[in-house]
Structure 1
């Protein structure tokens, strides 16, 4: 559907997946760095589309940012090898390695490139950027991190992700800030355990894939399109369910991983961090509900040429995923029985 017909894109997709495996299975920092470089060079042909000026600009920006982060990472790795026993320098280099990995995944305060690049990509490329491209940096971050530094980064991610999305009209930028906010939960889960991070990441990818698939299917890029289009009521319901699930509202499945993370953070006595994460989640829910409100309430424009015809098979997919989202809490409580 997105790239299956194009053999070039298939080739680059394969290298993209393969490069992540190189990085996370490498037993040296150099191997990790090589994996990151291959990953960068395979993602650029995927996002570069000669018909779209914005995508060419996005691919160039992405290349520059990732190159700077890679150079910084390589520099720190070499220095760390030279200054093995110097404690003060090691402390500083750990923070620098963390910073370059955070820059690679688009985390605050190195996030300024992220919404700009997201704006120039298709929904499918956005999905890869928000999910698959975060795997390598987070796993490398779990090998070597400074706890106090990461707690500050988590708070920053949470606040910037929530405040930045408030005045956005573009759905892509909104999803980018949502991704920055979710990154704070991901880093928190990574600090607790890698298994918890895998679980949270899987849930987040599942929800993001549904959102990107729905927006791609309806060809939507801005909030006002939601109230210009006379959407099918089932699509509106699916949007409601999946947006609230992404926000982490209790009856839906998106709340379950957040619930576990909150549990562990409280066990580790990180009360202030938990408070910030929960408060910022409320702001996220506010602007998700704002989108849903416009989609549900403004049904006044009856434009004949704006009708959406969706193949039945696709609707079955969406309804099935929405059903999983609703049943999420029932399934999750079964884990505790």
Structure 2
């Protein structure tokens, strides 16, 4: 199974989900901080695996980084309570609060922990880290935004997310840098409205979950495994479709939310920001296509003993999701008629 359903793991998984709800529905900054702390303490047992040294190391790194971000956030909240009786904006304080929340979600320039930790996790934990763990920090970020600071952060995210993916042989690190790039889009959508962010986040989570599911079932962690394995041609096609969809290539559904964000950004006169986001998406697509090109072309390396067998039900499931990815342009034209 994608996730082993033992009672301990289920318990921590429920706490993980509820802690996010505590954080985003709290009416005080202390409540938000408590939600984030519970979230951190419930995610560590999910990561930790005594049989795997990498995951133990990842859980320790994750704990240290998140603790530093939490301390920073708590310090800023206390400063705010002591020095500011009314809710006026203070540039230094808003940048400090924004920075600690950005550090929590693994955004550039506080992203250094993110690829290292992703490398030690299973695909299921990666899926949680790249999707669910970003919800509460981004929503808390929307409460106390410093727009000028966040514009710089969005530009940094998109550039580092695109350039960091070069020379990566690990699929997990590649997905991590892709996630950093998508975070740039998410923060820019949050600057416009929360609904737009929810819309983008839904599509992003959908696509990331398909990718993680595929890699999990193929048991793949490195790019060269795509070349060596005697994978069914249809599975390679699904990989192609979903990779290009995450990159945001027009016929696929991943382009649809990006298209809407570009429209809103242009309406709000963020011309330079839009230019950077689009250019960096092109770089992202370049190294996706480089991987896919190699995996399609290196068919002569088929080894008989590395054949991967898919269960029929699983195949139909991924088939259906990939069909949704392809039908993206048909769906999106209804919205823009």
Band of TM-score, shorter chain: over 0.9
Instruction: Please say if residues 3 and 9 of structure 1, whose CA atoms lie closer than 8 Å, have aligned partners that are also in contact.
Output: no
CA deviation map 1:2-54 (0-9, x unaligned): 33431100000000000000000000000000000000000000000001000
Is residue 143 of structure 1 aligned with residue 143 of structure 2? yes
Instruction: Please say if residues 84 and 90 of structure 1, whose CA atoms lie closer than 8 Å, have aligned partners that are also in contact.
Output: no
Report the Cα offset of residue 304 of structure 1.
Answer: 1.5
CA deviation map 1:272-292 (0-9, x unaligned): 100000000000000110110
- Structure 2 residue aligned with 1:257: 257
- Structure 2 residue aligned with 1:287: 287
| Structure-1 separation of matches of 2:128 and 2:254 | 19
CA deviation map 1:195-232 (0-9, x unaligned): 00000000000000000000000000000000001110
| Structure-2 separation of matches of 1:264 and 1:88 | 28
Mapping 1:105-124, distance limit 5 Å: 105-124=105-124
Instruction: Please say if residues 2 and 216 of structure 2, whose CA atoms lie closer than 8 Å, have aligned partners that are also in contact.
Output: no
Instruction: Please say if residues 16 and 39 of structure 2, whose CA atoms lie closer than 8 Å, have aligned partners that are also in contact.
Output: yes
| Structure-1 separation of matches of 2:8 and 2:87 | 48
Report the Cα offset of residue 150 of structure 1.
Answer: 0.1
- Structure 1 residue aligned with 2:317: 317
- Structure 2 residue aligned with 1:172: 172
- Structure 2 residue aligned with 1:6: 6
Report the Cα offset of residue 321 of structure 1.
Answer: 0.4
Of 133-142 and 88-97, the range deviating more from structure 2 = 88-97
CA deviation map 1:81-130 (0-9, x unaligned): 11116999922011000000000000000000000000000000000000
Instruction: Please say if residues 248 and 258 of structure 1, whose CA atoms lie closer than 8 Å, have aligned partners that are also in contact.
Output: yes
| Structure-2 separation of matches of 1:129 and 1:91 | 30
| Structure-2 separation of matches of 1:150 and 1:102 | 10
Of 206-215 and 88-97, the range deviating more from structure 2 = 88-97
| Structure-2 separation of matches of 1:96 and 1:154 | 16
| Structure-1 separation of matches of 2:288 and 2:302 | 24
Cα RMSD, aligned residues only: 1.2
CA deviation map 1:37-83 (0-9, x unaligned): 00000000000000100000000000000000000000000001111
CA deviation map 1:175-202 (0-9, x unaligned): 0000000000000000010000000000
- TM-score under structure 1 length normalisation: 0.98
| Structure-2 separation of matches of 1:300 and 1:138 | 46
| Structure-1 separation of matches of 2:251 and 2:3 | 35
* Count of residues in Structure 1 that have an aligned counterpart in Structure 2: 337
- Structure 2 residue aligned with 1:242: 242
| Structure-2 separation of matches of 1:101 and 1:253 | 29
| Structure-1 separation of matches of 2:43 and 2:220 | 23
Mapping 1:1-337, distance limit 5 Å: 1-84=1-84, 90-337=90-337
| Structure-2 separation of matches of 1:22 and 1:220 | 35
| Structure-2 separation of matches of 1:116 and 1:8 | 26
| Structure-2 separation of matches of 1:89 and 1:186 | 23
Partner SS state of residue 231, structure 2 = coil
- TM-score under structure 2 length normalisation: 0.98
| Structure-2 separation of matches of 1:149 and 1:171 | 31
| Structure-2 separation of matches of 1:79 and 1:202 | 35
